Structure 1
Amino acid sequence: MLDAITWAVWGQARTRTQDELIHQGQTDMVVDLEFSARGQTYKISRRHSRKRGKQGASSLELQLFSDGTFIPITGNTIRETEAVVKDLLNMDYDTFVNTAFLLQGKADLFSSSTPARRKETLAEVLGLGYYDSLALKARELGRDQDKLITSIDSNVAFHAEELEKRDLYQSNLSSAQSNLSDLEKSMQIALSEKSFIESKIDKLKLTESMIDASRNRVKSAKAELQQLQMSLERFQTELAEAEKIQLKELEIGKKYSALQQALLEEQLISEKGAKHKDLSDAANKLEQSIDIESTRLKERIQSMQNQIDGLSVLSAQLPELNKSVSLMEQQKSDLHKLKLNSEQLDKSISTLETKSAVLNNENSLLKKTMDDTRQKYDYLNLDEAVCPVCSAALNDKKIKALRIEYESSGAEAKAEYLKNQNQVAEVGKEISFEQAKLSEINEQAANLSAEISTKEDSLRREIAAAENAEASIKNLSGELLSLQNRLSSSSFCNLEKLKLVQIQSDLDSLKYDSQKHESLIKLIESLKPYEDSMRQLNQAKDSINLINENISQSSMLLESRSKEIKQATQEIIDLEKDLVELPEVTRQLDEVLRHSLGLEKQRAHFAEETGRLRERLDHCERIENQINKQMKTRKAAEKESRLLKDLAGAFGPNGIQAMIIETAIPQIQDEANEMLFRLTDGGLSIRLDLTEGRKDRSTGNPSEQLEIRVSDEMGTRSYETFSGGEAFRINFAIRIALSKVLASRSGAPLPILFIDEGFGSQDEFGQDRLKEAINFIRDDFEKILVITHIEEIKDAFPARIEVEKTSSGSTFKVIS
């Protein structure tokens, strides 16, 4: 049970490996343990499975009881979860077995440890690791403050050079501002001069625009004048054409009347032509339908003839197929005979095998009889042979008679035995012969059966196909004869033929003359141009007055545009005189612009320089403020660093830890001596001394060791010189003292003492003293768990857990 508890909590027990804890014959183990620590209830579950030839698989889960259920708080790995458990219990496995757990055979685990290891265990019992972590944290924080101070010093030194240039930046800024002011005045003068010249140029540009507008007006007027001249000429040409067409009015009227008469006649004959075409198209369609039906009948007749020819081939095979059926029936009869022969041979073989078994059984009995006779015969050769019936001694005569009887009986049995053997051999030959013959018959029957099975299905299908072909030929022949009669007597498409006769009659009564129609169309084509001539004649009559009016208007506009061109040309000459001074004024403006541009570049340069210098001065001011803040931070960091170094020393081995150990050692020593006084009637006492050990490589300071000095009536001696019983009582007293310190430690979650055996090395007096000592310290612990097999020790404690091993596993019961 204790192994299960320590393995579940720390993953360690008394065995070297986890696999050794698994019950024999099993491959895995699991422990679920609920415990209380720091006012909370926890549940830990650890599982391990071993695999042959491979490393076993383990798992660890930790849960916290909250609101009536367990909530998982397992870490990402087993190592992380074990660290959480260790923090909860505030101890590891080694501290547990050195203090609260007196392991069987290892009660001296603390006493027999090295002085340095004793000091480490004591520090763990007193919880000094917490102060080590505080000292380490203080040193880490102190190093962080030292790094901050170094960084601030480096930063201040880097920016000091920039602050030294602040006076130079201020002087250069004043000079740049003065130059910038002078340039601003010069630019104002240049801008006034530029505005005057630009105003003058704008006026000259306006004059130039007016000249361009006049030139465009002259150009437009000339183009319009040219257009008017062309329009006047076109109107005069149209007037001549119209007058020319009026001279042909009589001819055009006569031809146009002939065209209208021809068009009227063509319309009437076209209606007859349309009817003629529709009737002809209908007749063509009917003729095509009749031809198609005739072709279809011929194709059906040919298709049926082809089917009849193909079916005739199948039908002709029917007599031959019937012969094959007769042959197959003969094969079935042969197969039946083979099966009858096979059955007869099976019966014959069974009879022979039975006969052989009977003969072999007889020979077995004969062999036993011969063996018995031989034993009896050999028995007669003994010196003290007696009668096998009455047990009386046998004389030579009786022995001789028995020998003759035994020899005769043995010879008869042997002869019968040999005879049976010969018969068995003969029967065996007959069986082999019959079996060979049976195998041959069975093989013939199997081959014949397979052949019949294969041919029978094929013949059945072929006969069915031939019979169906014969029936189909009869049906198709009647249908073929009917189709041939329809084709030869033209008994098809009767309705279409009647319609065709009617259409032909309608065509004859229509009396449409296609040649006359074609001649009329040619006449219309020859008179068609006079339709346009009539339209042109009518247009000419209507347009002569309009053309005369257009000629009059064009002449008036032509005269008006000529006057406008002359007036605009004179205006251009007058305006061009004012543009003579434009090049000089433009040159003056270019000069002023170049001067202004130079001033603008200088102003931009000095403005940029002024901004740059102001930025540098602002930067210097920011640096100064930053340095002041950093110096305040540095001062605080120096103070914090000194404080953290003091804390590191206070939390270190020579500070609070030394004070705690110096206070705890007398307490442990007094507790142990009080227990030893009870166990030895004041015969033994101990003294715990702190001594210097080896120097620590990292700090250079000597480590501390804990020495155990034991005193008795003979003086002070080393622990190793005491006997087993005395050594156990010393170990027991020291371990009880350590356990009491551990149980009373602030925040200790495990105020329980475990004692595993250890009573066997004590005599009756020593055992009584141990029981008294355990009862004496019972109020210092919440629970004391004692493991023992000694009845007297068990009876000393009223509350017990009795464990009993059975064939199906261990069982327990609680006695209180």
Structure 2
Amino acid sequence: MIPVQLILKNFLSYRDATLDFRGLHTACISGSNGAGKSSLLEAITWAIWGESRATAEDDVIYSGAKEVRVDFTFQSNQQKYRVIRTRIRGGTSVLEFQIEIPSGFRSLTGKGVRATQDLILEHIKLDYDTFINSAYLRQGRADEFMLKRPTERKEILAELLKLNQYDDLEERAKESSRQFKARAVELERSLESIKIQLQQRETTEAQRVELEAELNQLQQVQAFDNIQLQSLQVVQHQRQNWEQQLSFVKQQYQNLTQDCDRLQQEQSAIGSQLSDLEKILHQEAEIKAGYTQYQSLQSQEEAFAAKFEEYTRAQQTRQQKQQHLTKQIHEIERQLQQAQAQLEALHQQERDIQQTLTKSGEVEAALSQLAAARHHVARLDQLQMQVTPLLQQRATLQSQLDRTHAGLVARLEQLQSTENQLQRQQHRQPQLQQAVMDVAIQIEELEKKRVYLQRVQEKGHERRHFIERLQAHQRDYEKLLGELEQKLQMLQNPEALCPLCERPLDEHHWSRVVEKTQAELEDTQGQFWVVREQMAVSDREIQVLRQEYREISQQLASYDGLREQRGQLAAQLEATTDVQQQLQQIAAEKQHLERSLQAGDYAPDKQAELRQLDQYLQQANYNEQDHALARSEVERWRWAEIKQGQIKDATKRQAQLLARKPELQSQIAQLQVRIQQDQTDSECAKQIAALERHITEIGYSSEQHNNLRIAVRQAQSWHLRYQQLLSAQQQYPQLQTRLQELEESRSARVTERQKLGGQIESIIQQLQATANPSAQIQALEQQLAIRRRQLDEQIAKLGRLEQLALQLETLQIQYEQQHQQLQSCKQEYRVYQELAQAFGKNGIQALMIENVLPQLEAETNQLLSRLSGNQFHVQFITQKAGRSAKSTKKNAKLIDTLDILIADSRGTRSYETYSGGEAFRINFAIRLALAKLLAQRAGAALQLLIVDEGFGTQDAEGCDRLIAAINAIASDFACILTVTHMPHLKEAFQARIEVNKTQEGSQLSLSI
């Protein structure tokens, strides 16, 4: 990836900036600390991958801005791309990806930020982790790899090489092997259970044959009893038919008896009705006369009812007319009352106006007082306008003088505090000198112990390597002893073959082979015990070395703290050398300040100006209290203006009242005349008089009407008796006919009942002649039921046995299938176990690291030779188990450590003993070699190199060599950007990018 152009808007410390990389090969990004140098590079990672050092997504937005935008154009694989990433504060991000074509840029943006990010990674073939660990040597992370422990270094290298995917594969393989192992255990338990169940097959078959024979015998006995039961049931059925016929005939006989009784009762009831009807028919003449009188009275009552309706309508109409007239008169009376009330209100207003007009003289006097007070206030207002700027100027001068006085007092207090602190430092100078000497002696003793600790560590490494070789020899001897013991066990067979040529042995050769094998076994056992003894001795030596290493390490725990303490004490001691001179300067300045404060001669120009202003204000004779009293006097006489307005309004109102008063008096007289006319001469009054005359002409009497109603109610019984007479005349012949029909029906039912009595006697005789088989049938049915239950039980048992036999056949098939599954699971378990070992730390990962380390070591030493003038050499060591002559490389197992040995002209030393500049050059070489290796493994060419703050620990010679190394490797990269805050290094680079921090944000300037 080669940068072409970077455009920033509101990103971190940048408001608006553009950087064009075209023409830049090796460039320096310089500026003071905090100017925004690293932010410029963070913009590239945020645009491409959306990653930065910001903890929250909105933290990349410039403080106070609402939106951030980064536009980055770069070249990759001979093709130019453009990435635009924007974000709104509190909102979401937008990502655009474009590719250059002859007509401009064409969009490759996917559906959403995630899809577009995947497209970018697909084209550049470089993810964020690989970039920051290869092309981008970030600030403060140059020595991250070297400061880790050996085991952690190997983990970091595995992480950089992205070998953690093999950890996932290992865990998945282990999980699959555990699953197949659990499945195999489950299948074994299931097979054992099925095997136990299959042992029941023969017993089940024998029980089934025996049960079938018992079932056939029971079925034969059951068939014979069923035939006997059927014959008895035929006899019982015939007897039941006769019983049912007897019951039916008896029921008919009883029904006929009930019919005869019912007909007899109905005849009696009809006879009683005939006698009642005959009584009514004998009173026919009397009933008709009474009914004629009832009809006459009813006609008279209807005539009176018509008069009553006409009378009621006339009364209602008269009442409605009267209500209407009363409503009209009330409306006029209401208008009359309103007019009278208005006239009374006019009289009251006239009295109020007259009272107001009597105060006109008092108001005129108050108005003259108000004019005089306002003239006085106007004069004071003009004087205030002249004095106010002078008062403000005086307040400003007084405030400036107060601040000057406070500043002098604060400076005096600061000088006193500084003087006390310097005096304390001056007293501590002998103590600091003694402390520096004591710390130097302690550091010198600890440095000797550090050298001795390194020798102890080297000796421990030597002992561990020796133990590893002894362990390899021990395994070889154990294997050889096992083979020899197996050979002796095979030779115990009289027909044993020769272990070498596999030919039959005679007694002589058999004895020689046994003796030789026995002697070889004893010799091997002796060597085995010698190795065990050497291992025990070496273990004790290592324990002693470990104890000694721990003790010395504990003593060296304070080494770094002592070095830091020595630096602090030296700085404090150096600071005490010029304390006396500072104390003299402070004493002189204190004396000057105290004299100025006592005499008050500070800021003489401002004090003179203040005195002049006070003199002028005294001559003006302006008093704020007099001004306030004048304003209150004006407010006290303001009521005169209000009263003057009220008098003017009262005069106008009096004229209006005089014009309105005659109108109201005329209106009241007219309303009184209208009331008199409506009561006597209106149309409604005339209609009411006509209705009263019509009511008199109707001549309706309520008393006569009530007497007639009473007579009609008393004669109403004749109407009822006349209806009964008509009904009796109609029912009498019908009841006579019905009485004759009932007599004939009763005679026929008596004859039929006598016949049914003879049939009942005949059926009873037949039943007495036939025996009852119910007891025999009940006994046979009980026997059949018992035997049927036995048959059901036997059949159910036979069904269960047949089902069990079917299940056993199914189990046999299942047993064979699960047996095959068990073999498959065991095979899969072995496969995944081998895969887990292959994917583990000691498998593919160890082999890949072992293959990568020679390439990394060669690249590191090539770069380090340029940086150190061929003075340093790095060697990567992975500790391995010792191997015997018969063992191969495949048998070697890597231990999880990665030691880095650094050799110079004085020999091989640990990384911690090198100075800051030397350590950085080693770090830089290893880091750059890792970068090239990672980029190569990612499938991308490492065309861009960014070194962020890499010169802080270098001396002049080291910086020159580092710059020379960068220039030497410049041909390997298309663009190299170096970030530094050291001004004298800018001159070493022809192309420089200056970064400056301003109030408008960080600004860029490019010089080539």
**TM-score, normalization: structure 1?**
0.68
Partner deviation per Cα, 1:8-37 (whole Å, 9 max, x = no partner): 778987899999988789899776778899
Instruction: Decide which moves more: 715-724 or 606-615.
Output: 715-724
Aligned to 2:691: 496
Asked if 2 retains the 8 angstrom alpha-carbon contact of 1:688 and 1:708, the reply is: yes
Instruction: Sort the Cα spacing of 1:431 and 1:581 in 2 relative to 1 into closer, same or farther, 3 A.
Output: same
Question: Equivalent residue of 2:354, what SS?
Answer: helix
Residue 703 (structure 1) aligned with residue 896 (structure 2): yes
What CA distance in whole angstroms lies between the structure 1 residues aligned with 2:192 and 2:652? Answer: 114
Q: 2:550 aligns to what?
A: none
Partner secondary structure for residue 579 of structure 1: helix
Tell me the CA shift for residue 126 of structure 1: 3.5
**What is the CA distance between 1:190 and its match in structure 2?**
2.8
Shift of 1:205: 1.6
**Alignment-derived partner of residue 840 in structure 2:** 652
1:596 CA drift (Å): 1.6
3-state SS of the aligned residue for 2:897? Answer: strand
Residue deviations 1:260-298, cap 9 Å, x none? 9768xx56x865664454235323542454466557756
8 Å contact 1:101–1:754 — kept in the other structure? Answer: yes
Q: Partner amino acid for 1:740?
A: K
For 2:53 and 2:108, how far apart are their aligned partners in 1? 35
Instruction: Please say which of residues 329-338 and 474-483 is displaced more in the overlay.
Output: 329-338
1:180 is aligned to 215
- 1:153-302 superposed matches below 5 A: 153-229=188-264, 252=284, 266=295, 274-287=302-315, 289-290=317-318, 293=321
Amino acid at match of 1:607: I
Question: Alpha-carbon deviations, 1:327-384, whole Å to 9, x = none?
Answer: 12334664454234201222245458879999999xxxxxxxxxxxxxxxxxxxxxxx
Change (3 A) 1:475 1:32: farther
Residue equivalent to 1:324: 352
Secondary structure, counterpart of 2:772 in structure 1:
helix
> Please, which of 479, 503, 515 is the counterpart of residue 674 of structure 2?
479
Match of 2:182 among 144, 147, 163: 147
Partner SS, residue 69 of structure 1: coil
| SS of alignment partner, residue 358 of structure 2 | helix
Matched to 2:772, the amino acid is: E
CA contact (8 A) 1:301 1:480 kept: yes
Q: Distance in 1 between matches of 2:273 and 2:381?
A: 144
**2:933 matches 1:741:** yes
Structure 1, unmatched stretches of 5+, are: 50-56, 76-80, 362-417, 694-699
How far apart are the structure 2 equivalents of 1:25 and 1:428?
48
- Match for 2:763 among 575, 588, 591? 575
List per-residue Cα deviations over 1:63-97 (Å, max 9, x = no partner): 8889732433559xxxxx99x999x978775x766
Is 1:441 the counterpart of 2:480? The answer is: no
Cα displacement (A) at 1:615: 3.6
Indicate how the Cα distance of structure 1 residues 101 and 308 shifts in structure 2: closer, same or farther if over 3 A, else same: closer
Q: What CA deviation, in whole Å up to 9, does each residue of 1:641-700 have, x standing for no partner? A: 22222222222233223332332222223333444556667665443322369xxxxxx9
The verdict on how the C-alpha distance between 1:470 and 1:709 changes in structure 2, with shifts beyond 3 A counting, is: same
Match of 1:754 in 2: 946
Which moves more between the two structures, 214-223 or 18-27?
A: 18-27
2:373 alignment partner in structure 1: 345
The answer (yes or no) to whether the contact 1:486–1:492 under 8 Å persists in 2 is no
Match of 1:664 in 2: 852
Matched, 1:72 2:112: yes
- 1:750-772 superposed Cα distances (whole Å, 9 cap, x missing partner): 66433446577447974685255
Q: CA deviation at 1:579?
A: 2.1
Equivalent residues of 1:692, 1:705 under 8 A apart: no
SS in 2 for 1:753: strand
CA distance in 1, matches of 2:383, 2:725: 142
Whether 1:586 and 2:774 are equivalent positions in the alignment is: yes
Q: 1:21 to 1:232 in 2, by over 3 A?
A: closer
- Secondary structure of the 1:688 match is strand
- The alpha-carbon distance between structure 1 residues 591 and 304, as it changes in their structure 2 partners (threshold 3 A), is same
Q: Distance in 2 between matches of 1:191 and 1:202?
A: 16
For 2:625 and 2:745, the matched residues in 1 are separated by 153
| Alpha-carbon spacing, 1:319–1:63, altered in 2? closer, same or farther (3 Å) | closer
How far residue 575 of structure 1 moved from its aligned partner, in angstroms, is 0.8
In the alignment, is the contact (CA less than 8 A) between 1:40 and 1:64 conserved in 2? no
| Stretch of structure 1 that moved more, 637-646 or 5-14 | 5-14
Q: How far 1:572 moved relative to its partner?
A: 0.9
Quick one: distance in 1 between partners of 2:114 and 2:191?
49
Partner residue of 2:163?
128
Deviations 1:122-179, CA, capped at 9 Å, x for gaps? 3334333333332232222222222222222333445554444444444443343333
The SS at the match of 1:745 is: helix
Cα offset, 1:203, TM superposition: 1.6
Amino acid at match of 1:647: L
In the alignment, which residue of structure 2 is the partner of 1:628? 816
Q: Secondary structure at the match of 2:111?
A: strand
Distance 1:562 1:102, change over 3 A: closer
Q: 2:831 — aligned with what?
A: 643
- For residue 606 of structure 1, report the CA deviation from its aligned partner: 2.1
Bigger CA drift: 769-778 or 197-206?
Answer: 769-778
Question: Residue 96 of structure 2 contacts residue 109 of structure 2 at CA under 8 Å; is this kept in 1?
Answer: no
1:774 counterpart residue number: 969
Maintained 8 Å contact 2:166/2:840? yes
Structure 1 residues 476, 777: CA separation in 2 closer, same or farther (over 3 Å shift)?
same
2:136–2:945 Cα contact (<8 Å) kept: yes
Q: Deviations over 1:212-258 (max 9, x none)?
A: 22222222333333455556667778888999999x6xx95x66886
CA contact (8 A) 1:689 1:708 kept: yes
How far apart, CA to CA, are the structure 2 residues paired with 1:520 and 1:359? 120
2:932 maps to amino acid: K
Is the contact made by 2:902 and 2:911 (CA closer than 8 Å) also made in structure 1? yes
Cα shift at 1:207: 1.1
Could you tell me whether the CA contact under 8 Å between 1:771 and 1:793 is conserved in 2? no
In 1: Cα distance, 2:655 partner to 2:186 partner: 110
CA separation of 1:484/1:565 partners in 2, compared to 1, >3 Å: closer, same or farther? closer
Classify 1:535/1:353 alpha carbon distance in 2 versus 1 (closer, same or farther; 3 Å): closer
1:96-107 pair list within 5 angstroms: 99-103=134-138, 107=142
Contact 1:259 1:528 in 2 (8 A): no
Query: CA distance change for structure 1 residues 536 and 137 in 2, over 3 Å: closer, same or farther?
Result: closer
Relative to structure 1, the CA distance from residue 163 to residue 272 in structure 2 (aligned partners, 3 Å threshold; closer, same or farther) is same
- 1:412 corresponds to: none
The answer as to whether partners of 1:101 and 1:755 remain within 8 angstroms in 2 is yes
CA distance in 1, matches of 2:958, 2:775: 136
CA contact (8 A) 1:692 1:703 kept: no
Seq. identity, %: 21
**Correspondences of 1:671-686 after superposition (within 5 Å):** 671-676=859-864, 685-686=873-874
1:2 corresponds to which letter in structure 2?
L
Partners of 2:365 and 2:161 in 1: how far apart? 109
Letter in 1 for 2:783: H
The aligned counterpart of 1:810 is 1003
